[in-house]
Amino acid sequence: MSTSAAAPTRREQILSEAARLFAERGFHGVGVDEIGAAVGISGPGLYRHFAGKDAMLAELLVGISERLLTGGRRRVEEADGDPAAVLASLIDGHIDFALDDRALITLHDRELDRLRDADRKLVRQLQRQYVELWVAVVRELHPGVGEAEVRVAVHAVFGLLNSTPHLGTPGREATESLLRRLAHGAFRALSA
């Protein structure tokens, strides 16, 4: 029995290459022919999978917001109510995202305003729900700290973790360990 992950679908390959190219050169700096060439199909062949570049961008940005929220909710459920374990799991999950999906962080920073209003609102709604997961856990760990301060701390930790596209990293394991220590330290500082 094989334990390896399933090979990505053609659609997933297209999205991965689109994210990489959009992050490198900007949404308007990339054509469908280039995305197609990156996955070995013609540009027009992409239209069998997506209505166009706008649809790819929407799926990338809505998709990552959905994955973060779904993963966060799963982590909360799996930790059986232990807030320290929940926070540790949330931090680990976000670190994995920050190290594995750097192109999506760059894409979000640069191209969110290119989404249709409905898609942009959906991304923001999903992000707010994800933030609320974190805020609830951190407030449980630090009951004497006000909600506004906790919210600032959560956003500050996101900023720290989401800075990975701008870092020259010393290797995954070392970066992961450093980010974990910094994130936990930021939350411990709430009670200092």
Tokens at 173, concatenated? 């394991």
Q: What is the pLDDT of residue 169?
A: 65
Tokens at 112, concatenated? 């969110």
Q: What is the pLDDT of residue 3?
A: 47
CA 17/CA 60 separation, integer angstroms: 11
CA 104/CA 115 separation, integer angstroms: 14
Q: What is the pLDDT of residue 1?
A: 42
Query: Burial letters for 1-28: b for 16+ Cβ neighbours within 10 Å, e otherwise?
Result: eeeeeeeeeeeebbbbbbbbbbbeeebe
**Ordered per-residue pLDDT tens for the chain, 192 residues:** 444 568 889 899 999 999 999 999 999 999 999 999 999 998 888 899 999 999 999 999 999 999 999 999 999 999 888 999 999 999 999 999 999 999 999 999 999 999 999 999 999 999 999 999 999 999 999 999 999 999 999 999 999 999 988 877 678 899 999 999 999 999 999 987
Relative orientation angle of helices 83-100 and 102-111, to the nearest 10 degrees: 80
Q: What is the pLDDT of residue 141?
A: 96
Say whether 7 sits in a helix, a strand or coil. Answer: coil
Please, what are the domains in the chain? 53-191 (1.10.357.10)
